[in-house]
Amino acid sequence: MKAMLSTAPGGPETLQLADLPDPEPGKGQVLIRVHAAGLNFPDTLIIRDLYQFKPQRPFAPGGEIAGEVLSVGEGVTGFAPGDRVLAMIGHGGFATHVCADAASVVKIPDVMPYEDAACFVFTYGTSLHALKDRANLQPGETLLILGGASGVGVAAIELAKAMGAKVIAAVSSEEKAAFCREVGADETLVYPRDMDRDAQKALAGQIKELAGPHGVNVVYDAVGGDYAEPALRSLAWKGRFLVVGFPAGIPKIPLNLTLLKGSQIVGVFWGASVKQEPEGHAANMAELSKLYAEGKVKPRISARFPLEQAAEALTSMDNRQAMGKVVLTID
């Protein structure tokens, strides 16, 4: 088998293509021939030792894959060679073969391409958990998404529209704004790359102008940094601020704003919720499968790379060049 390995902490350029022995599934495991691996922001963190989990090196990043079952280990039922599946594995997905715990493997329908399957669960699972379980987004409410063109941002646009909300997508370029409108955003705004105090005030004013006199009901913050405070200032009375990610840095929030607005700051840790609330996760996955079958959600894949170009793929995410999802196609 081949794999792109992290052998030392560092950026995408530190990954190395290696030949390894083909793995054998252990007890409770499924051996999968990987056809596609979705890229997610945590992949850029885990190779730098900046993620919540630090695998023992060498390891391959890549927590979201889709492929074909080759064999099953002792005690595994419900899977057989030839089954088309996806799996959430934490890391190890930038490889031609993966042994995954059977509990993390899900069969996919024949009509679902491997690329869609490898780009589905993480972003849509995160965004549905955020909007439904954490924010209780209601029809007619206004949602502001910071990082609207990201994988989770695009998923949030589609899901919020399916839930009957008005969507404002905030992004860093006109190209990304057009992309978000194509996906379904009602309004878009472009924020600057560098935010000083004047830029923060201007951004807050732009948001309020688009949201209307009552403000934003829910903020989906997948950016953090200096962009968080202007978004928080735009909240309506009893608004909900969803903390999703920090590619721009961990923000410092003046908590008096939450008092003045009667608002809530709500953490979104989808990975932990899957383990803590498995029944809720199963219900959300069933809902997402239905929405996919109805054509209401579909991963927007903007770039495809072969396995050996995994570093270039991750760099496109690091530089915030990617729109929607980026996927490795593994032949």
Q: Give the tens place of pLDDT for each residue, 48-65.
A: 999 888 999 999 999 999
The predicted structure's pLDDT at residue 205:
93
Under DSSP, the state recorded for 59 is B
Q: What is the mean pLDDT of each run of 10 residues along the chain (331 residues)?
A: 97 96 96 97 93 92 97 96 96 97 92 96 96 98 97 97 97 96 97 91 94 94 96 96 93 93 96 90 93 94 96 89 91 81
Bridge partners of 85, per DSSP, are: 67, 107
Bridge partners of 79, per DSSP, are: none
Please compute Rg for the chain using Cα positions. Answer: 20
Which amino acid is present at 176? K
Judge residue 42's burial from the number of C-beta atoms within 10 Å of its C-beta, 0-12 exposed, 13-18 middle, 19 or more buried: buried
Domain 2-120+299-329, CATH homologous superfamily name and number: Medium-chain alcohol dehydrogenases, catalytic domain (3.90.180.10)
Reply yes or no on domain 122-271 having CATH 3.40.50.720. Answer: yes
Quick one: tokens of 253?
């929030």
Quick one: tokens of 251?
């923000």
The predicted structure's pLDDT at residue 227:
96
Contacts by 248-256 with C-beta closer than 8 Å and gap 24+?
A: 248/223, 248/224, 249/224, 249/225, 250/224, 250/225, 251/224, 251/225, 251/226, 251/227, 253/228, 253/229, 254/229
The pTM of this model reads 0.90
The rounded Cα 266 to chain-centroid distance in angstroms is 17
The rounded Cα 61 to chain-centroid distance in angstroms is 15
The predicted structure's pLDDT at residue 79:
96
Under DSSP, the state recorded for 221 is E
Question: What are the residue boundaries of the structural domains of the chain, listed by start?
Answer: 2-120+299-329, 122-271
159 and 127 Cβ atoms separated by less than 8 Å: yes
> Which runs of consecutive H residues, i.e. helices, occur in the chain?
41-46, 114-118, 121-128, 151-162, 174-183, 197-211, 228-233, 256-261, 270-276, 278-293, 310-318
